[in-house]
Amino acid sequence: MFEKKEIAKKSVNPDRWYTDVILKSELADYSPVRGCMIIRPYGYEIWENIQNYLDKKFKELGVKNAYFPTFIPMSFLQREKEHVEGFSPQLAVVTHGGGEKLSEPLAVRPTSETIMYDTYARWIQSWRDLPLLLNLWNNVVRWEKRTYLFLRTAEFLWQEGHTAHATFDDADTFARKILEIYTVFDEDVLATPVLVGKKSENEKFPGAAITYSLEALMPDGKAIQMGTSHHLGDNFAKAFKIKYLDKNGREQFVWQTSWAETTRVIGAIIMAHGDDQGLILPPNIAPIQAVFVPIKLNEKVLNYCQKISQELVKSGIRVHIDSREEKSVGWKFHEWELKGIPIRIEIGEKEMENDELTLVRRDTGEKVKSQKSKVKSDTERLLKEIQDNLFERMKKFRDENTHTVSSYEEFKKIMATQKGYIYAFWCEDPVCEAKIKEETKATTRILPLDAKEEKGECVYCKKPATHRWYFAQAY
Ligand SMILES: [Zn+2]
């Protein structure tokens, strides 16, 4: 007798649920090193699907992959003032190697700007060397005090793109192209609607001129960052002396971008879409999109499943046949629900004789009768419907939890109760931003890309303000 894997209810205890569901669906496990995380095969397959999607999109823009070392000389990090101030508190530093004290300590990369740009200064000489478009798929270490599986771990996986351009505008255009790729990725692949815009001076990446960010609202009313694209201006170019000779033979500094998507988004989709029964994975990212569960296990039924599954595989659907003899049908249903497989295909002996089968949607529980001749088109249609439904569900939730607010009293009340986004005028004075954060835990999230200038007064200090910003408590 196999016991069902019990998890806390999301509707009752979302924090416990989040951890339970990750551990029991076998996405990840705790590691012997505090704050670090073991990504298990099921979780890693999701990351591989993310990699495959993004890698293709980056390459379409002409970006090439490369690799730079894990270790960064401390002096490199210190060359850009804001950058080192931003990252110092989270650095892991190597002081010894091969049994000897190192002449210069090495930081374990928290991000690779400094080690890459030291090299860029050698590689870039002429306007012909631009643009330089590189991406790294690697791990980074940020020594976090409080950690949370996928969302905040001391070590995580990501891609970091680093480009150099001839002009400010070229860099800005590129940073925005990446932003578009991330927007489509978040919305169409992860089924998670995002707000897209600029970060405030205080919230931007240390060393950036402009930080563009994508933000999603989680069911607990807190926002989560779903990717960032930074216009670095010429800040690093000046610190690392990355110069080129333009067509007139004049020496110029380059303009740069850096951009990243991390394993954190896996945490976001777990939280965004799951329910009391476990994960619900968006079909476009699910390692298994349809799982066959034969109601009675015998050779005839298994052959039938094989035949149909081959049809589905041919049209690019990711399938699995659960042929385990030692587990009951009920146990299997429970297991695949917990793992969030979008469609369960049930096949009984009688159904097989009539060339029928049943498709069960994970998101709604709806049962759809299908036939052998129609299973391919029915599965494709349902996968699309599930993908769309997950997106629409989140979008509805976001819209219902976005509050346009003009009084600070109302602002405070919302942040103390249901949370969500607050859309309000802010004078862009960091003092007001800091006070709001101190009193409500809400931070500025973004100024929307398409924001229009308006006449208003700051929700906090009542001084004139020209734009409404989004505020929220954030992960
Ligand atoms: Zn103000």
- Where residue 26 falls (left for φ over 0; alpha for ψ -120 to 50; beta otherwise) is left
The rounded Å distance from CA 20 to ligand 1 centre is 42
Per-residue pLDDT of the chain (475 residues; tens, 9 = 90+): 457 789 999 989 999 999 999 999 999 999 999 899 999 999 999 999 999 999 999 999 999 999 999 999 999 988 888 888 888 889 999 999 999 999 999 999 999 999 999 999 999 999 999 999 999 999 999 998 888 999 999 999 999 999 999 999 999 999 999 999 999 999 999 999 999 999 999 999 988 999 999 999 999 999 999 999 999 999 999 999 999 999 999 999 999 999 999 999 999 999 999 999 999 999 999 999 999 999 988 999 999 999 999 999 999 999 999 999 999 999 999 999 999 999 999 998 888 899 999 999 999 999 999 999 999 999 999 999 999 999 999 999 999 999 999 999 999 999 999 999 999 999 999 999 999 999 999 999 999 999 999 999 999 999 999 999 999 999 9
- Distance separating alpha carbons of residues 192 and 213, to the nearest angstrom: 14
The rounded Å distance from CA 471 to ligand 1 centre is 14
The rounded Å distance from CA 89 to ligand 1 centre is 29
The rounded Å distance from CA 413 to ligand 1 centre is 19
The rounded Å distance from CA 458 to ligand 1 centre is 5
For residue 420, which phi and psi values (nearest 5 degrees)? 95, -165
pTM: 0.96
Q: What is the pLDDT of residue 243?
A: 98
- Distance separating alpha carbons of residues 319 and 293, to the nearest angstrom: 11
Q: What is the pLDDT of residue 253?
A: 98
Side chain identity at residue 274, one-letter code: G
Residues 6 or more apart whose CB falls under 8 angstroms from that of 151 comprise 224, 264, 267, 268, 475
Residue with tokens 């970006």: 63
For residue 148, which phi and psi values (nearest 5 degrees)? -150, 125
* Domain layout of the chain by residue ranges: 14-273, 290-383, 402-472
Pick the CATH number of 14-273 from 2.60.40.10, 3.30.930.10, 1.20.1250.20, 1.10.3720.10: 3.30.930.10
The rounded Å distance from CA 81 to ligand 1 centre is 27
Nearest to 174 by CA among 125, 122, 133: 133
The CA angle 146-147-149, to the nearest 5 degrees, is 160
The rounded Å distance from CA 428 to ligand 1 centre is 7
**CA distances (Å), origin 172, targets 73, 226, 349, 453:** 29, 19, 61, 21
Q: With the CA atoms of 252, 253, 255 and 259 taken in that order, what torsion angle do they form, in degrees rounded to the nearest 10?
A: 150
CATH 3.30.110.30 fits 402-472, yes or no: yes
- Distance separating alpha carbons of residues 47 and 43, to the nearest angstrom: 7
Specify the fold of 290-383. Answer: Rossmann fold (3.40.50)
The rounded Å distance from CA 446 to ligand 1 centre is 16
- Distance separating alpha carbons of residues 274 and 252, to the nearest angstrom: 51
The rounded Å distance from CA 436 to ligand 1 centre is 9
Residues 6 or more apart whose CB falls under 8 angstroms from that of 41 comprise 26
The rounded Å distance from CA 163 to ligand 1 centre is 36
